[in-house]
């Protein structure tokens, strides 16, 4: 390969890696937002890190995981997010139990939706709609080409 081809491949690889990293970051942010919605629905209180001191402390905490802390004999459940909302969610035992129930309900709903979609796919009778709806939407293979 010549130098131009190698540079082009290298540039394409870097661009692809960057796009993948951005997609992963977007998925992680979406996951964090979803969890934060459940925390709020469960009664967790959200506090913004609205000073440099609070933001620095927020960044020092375990990120995007619920961690239990004890204060004066009371369990507090803390979820820190320094990247998506720059905030902290704090709840107690009842809030955490509510969160677990909501998470379970969400998981069940997602499983039911996936099952319904799989059943719908299995019930689709493609032959009824004529040729042209096969693998790759190009119809039946001709000489091994779709």
User: Is the pLDDT reported for residue 29 higher than 70?
Assistant: no
Sequence ranges of the domains in the chain:
27-115
* Residue of higher predicted confidence among 20 and 103: 103
50-102, pLDDT tens digit by residue?
999 999 999 999 999 999 999 999 999 999 999 999 999 999 999 999 999 99
User: Is the pLDDT reported for residue 4 higher than 70?
Assistant: no
Q: How much is the pLDDT for 52?
A: 97
44-62, pLDDT tens digit by residue?
999 999 999 999 999 999 9
Residue 135 makes CB contacts below 8 A (sequence gap 6+) with 141, 146
116-135, pLDDT tens digit by residue?
787 777 777 777 777 766 55
Question: How wide is the angle at C-alpha 132 spanned by C-alphas 128 and 137, nearest 5°?
Answer: 115
**Tokens 């955490």 found at:** 96
User: Is the pLDDT reported for residue 13 higher than 70?
Assistant: no
Q: How much is the pLDDT for 127?
A: 72
Q: How much is the pLDDT for 33?
A: 74
User: Is the pLDDT reported for residue 10 higher than 70?
Assistant: no
**Tokens 């709840």 found at:** 91
């Amino acid at each position: 390969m010549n130098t131009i081809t190698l540079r082009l491949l290298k540039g394409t690889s870097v661009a692809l890696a960057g796009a993948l990293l951005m997609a992963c970051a977007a998925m992680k942010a979406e996951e964090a937002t979803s969890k934060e919605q459940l925390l709020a629905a469960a009664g967790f209180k959200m506090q913004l890190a609205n000073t440099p001191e609070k933001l620095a402390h927020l960044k020092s905490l375990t990120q995007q995981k619920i961690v239990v802390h004890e204060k004066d004999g009371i369990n507090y459940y803390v979820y820190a997010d320094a990247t998506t909302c720059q905030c902290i969610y704090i709840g107690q035992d009842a809030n955490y139990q509510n969160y677990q129930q909501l998470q379970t309900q969400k998981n069940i709903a997602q499983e039911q939706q996936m099952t319904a979609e799989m059943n719908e796919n299995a019930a689709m009778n493609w032959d009824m709609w004529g040729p042209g709806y096969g693998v790759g939407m190009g119809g039946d293979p001709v000489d091994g080409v779709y």
